[in-house]
Amino acid sequence: MSLLPRQDRRYLEGRGITVREVIAGGKKGVILTGITLPEGKYQVAQADILILLPPSYPEVAPDMFYAVPHLKLLAGQREPRCTQARQAFDGQTWQRWSRHNNQWRPGTDGIWTMLKRVEEALEVAA
Amino acid sequence: MKRSDITLQARHRDKLQALLAHPRGHEGAAYMLLGRSEIAQDPWDLEPRTRYTSNEVIAIPQEDRVDASDKHVTWNTNSFAQLCRRAKEEGLVPAIVHSHPGGFDGFSDQDDRNERDLFTMARNRNGEGTRLVSVVQVGDGLYRARVWEDDMTPLPCHRVTVIGTRLEIQSPDVPTPSEALARQALAFGPEVNGLLTQLSVAVVGCGGTGSPVVHLLARLGVGRIVVIDDDVVEHSNLNRLYGATRKDADNAVPKVDVMAREVTMMGLDVEIRSMKGWVDAPHIRDALKSCDVIFGCTDDHAGRLYLNRVAHFYLIPVIDVGLVLMPRDDDEPGLLEMAARVSVLFPTSACHGCRGTVDRVRAREEELQRSDPAEYERQKTEAYVRGAGNPAPAVVTFTSEAATMAVNELLAGLVDFRGGGGWTWQRYRKLDKGLERSQAVQPRPECPLCGSDEYWGLGDVDPFLDRVG
């Protein structure tokens, strides 16, 4: 059983990214392990990122994303803005990055769009 | 014997006719790749069945053609090996098509021998579980088909259906229609009742538009109906829900049970099945996949998006009904807009998304509300989701008019009562002005569903419909 649509799988295979597809508590998500964070910005160099896939994806957008460990900015020793909510999933408590997404273009956007959004959010977080 | 049937996209039938045509009436041949739809339990006879759907038509290369006459066609099998390789890689079923230009309606002993050899080749290459479909074009437009699952005896397909802007059913045995339908034959000719009797139709949503659709289909003589809805009758529905009584509302009877009861009480030759549940529930998949046509009578955007994909993957036309009754925005009674829309969703036309007849943001919110009500409420207070507005206005005459438009679209796919052309992809009727217009709808080239033919007739894939369920 696969969770991701074929285009996403092709993209991830092409980039050599392995993801863990998880169904837990009625929710479906992919966990990207060991994502490299912007250098010198957070208390850790790598984190796991969870993307919850809503029913009907990829026709509708994934919304927010989640991180473990809970990321803190080195500057100020605090969590970035809008990351205070928590989400339990697959036995872990995730830090919710509330970055809302209604700019989804079905057919054009996929897991690659979401990865780019995650990278950008991690880069510009303050 | 396990039932199987084949659905051809009309554009594929046209391509086959062109490939098989020969100026001196020689036999011709071509290949196809077919999607496969496995049904564990048909909702009516409760038996397993397999449906095949055309995904691609492939010409046999000129250099592989060996010899042909009006009685035979021979070709070198290099390209057949290629076909088998692609079938395995892409999870499709290989098919060979040849013609009997003289009109012989069936498969000859020579066909048996050739196909058995080809099947053995395919199985040796692709392994156990291999299937080979064989289609013969009789004359220039009639198709018969059979499936090789072992090298002993092929299974005949009980029917071939061609769908484009009409629904053409080719079946060797047509059931005798009920005498109750005689007056309808006076309007459309004798064939229409035979066609209707052979149809299996799903109605998704049994509310204001769905309940009259069910009643109209039953009176029209559709042979098998399955109704799908998760709701129960409420008192506020009684102004428009056909068949529902006050007692049904008092007892919160499921809408699908009311439909089944009412249609059964008509005592006509209709087999009705009811399924209570959300349309994308796994236990409802087989019922949808078993149908020839699906009526989308839900006002739910997530449900629309789902059926939109079913139409393309399984080549099942979806006739979607939408009603717009927009209240005035100044708190005075009356309507700003009143219109009915009927859309037919099927490959070559635009999908719901490209027509703008579905709101994807709203679809996501509906899914969230269903799957995680607590999170939905939380996001609503955080203003992340908009939430549904006040109850929409509903008037039985308008919902019934929309239902009639929808069922007439099915009729237009079966008989030429409008003077040719089959169904219209989209009609929009202004209920206040009595005006109707047909709307042109173009697929967006970048749309994966309707802008490219990759998904058309692909059948079963993992994940189901290549989406998150």
Q: Which residue of B has its CA nearest to A30?
A: B468
User: Residue B48: which pLDDT band, with cuts at 50, 70 and 90?
Assistant: very high
Residue B90: phi and psi, rounded to 5, are -100, 5
B444 — contact with chain A (CB < 8 Å)?
yes
Residue-wise DSSP of A54-85? -TTTTSS----EEEESPP-BTTTTBPPTT---
pLDDT above 80: residue A1: no
The secondary element (H helix, E strand) that includes residue B54 is strand B49-59
In this structure, which amino acid lies at residue A31? I
pLDDT per residue as tens digits for the range A45-71: 999 999 999 989 998 889 889 999 999
pLDDT above 90: residue B174: no
Angle (nearest 5°) at CA B314 between B279 and B97? 165
What phi-psi label fits residue A93: left (phi over 0), alpha (psi between -120 and 50 degrees) or beta? beta
**What is the complex's ipTM, to 2 decimals?**
0.90
How far B357 CA sits from the closest chain A CA (Å)?
A: 14
Task: List the single range of A74-88, B63-77, B116-130, B190-204 with lowest mean pLDDT.
Answer: B63-77
How far A33 CA sits from the closest chain B CA (Å)?
A: 21
CB atoms closer than 10 angstroms to residue B384:
17
pLDDT above 90: residue B451: yes
Cβ-proximal residues to B221 (8 Å cutoff; 6+ apart), any chain: B177, B178, B180, B181, B184, B193, B196, B197, B268, B269, B270
pLDDT above 70: residue B170: yes
pLDDT per residue as tens digits for the range B409-419: 999 999 988 88
Tokens of B67: 């010899």
Kindly provide the residue ranges of all beta strands, DSSP E only, lying in B330-379, ordered along the sequence. Answer: 335-345
pLDDT above 80: residue B385: no
A5 — contact with chain B (CB < 8 Å)?
yes
Tokens of B278: 């959300």
Helix orientation angle between B282-289 and B301-314, rounded to the nearest 10 degrees: 50
Across the range B121-136, mean pLDDT stands at: 96
What distance in Å separates the CA atoms of residue B245 and residue B116, rounded to the nearest whole number?
Answer: 59
Q: Which residue of B has its CA nearest to A99?
A: B384
Q: What is the pLDDT of residue B293?
A: 98
B409 close to B427: Cβ distance less than 8 angstroms: yes
pLDDT per residue as tens digits for the range B387-400: 656 678 889 999 99
Residues of A in contact with B306 (CB under 8 A): 56
Q: Which residue of A has its CA nearest to B360?
A: A60
Q: Which residue of A has its CA nearest to B307?
A: A56
Tokens of B149: 């699952």
Q: What is the pLDDT of residue B387?
A: 61
pLDDT above 70: residue B102: yes
What distance in Å separates the CA atoms of residue B22 and residue B27, rounded to the nearest whole number?
Answer: 7
What distance in Å separates the CA atoms of residue B213 and residue B217, rounded to the nearest whole number?
Answer: 6
Residues of B in contact with A2 (CB under 8 A): 462-463
B305 — contact with chain A (CB < 8 Å)?
yes
How far A50 CA sits from the closest chain B CA (Å)?
A: 16
B104 — contact with chain A (CB < 8 Å)?
no
A21 — contact with chain B (CB < 8 Å)?
no
Long-range contacts of A30-36 (CB under 8 A, 24+ apart): A30/A3, A30/A4, A30/A111, A31/A90, A32/A115, A35/A118
B364 — contact with chain A (CB < 8 Å)?
yes
Q: What is the pLDDT of residue B377?
A: 86
Average pLDDT value for chain B: 93
Q: What is the pLDDT of residue B177?
A: 86
Q: Which of residues 52-81 of A touch B (CB under 8 A)?
A: 53-61, 63
Task: List the single range of A7-16, B66-75, B292-301, B394-403 with lowest mean pLDDT.
Answer: B66-75
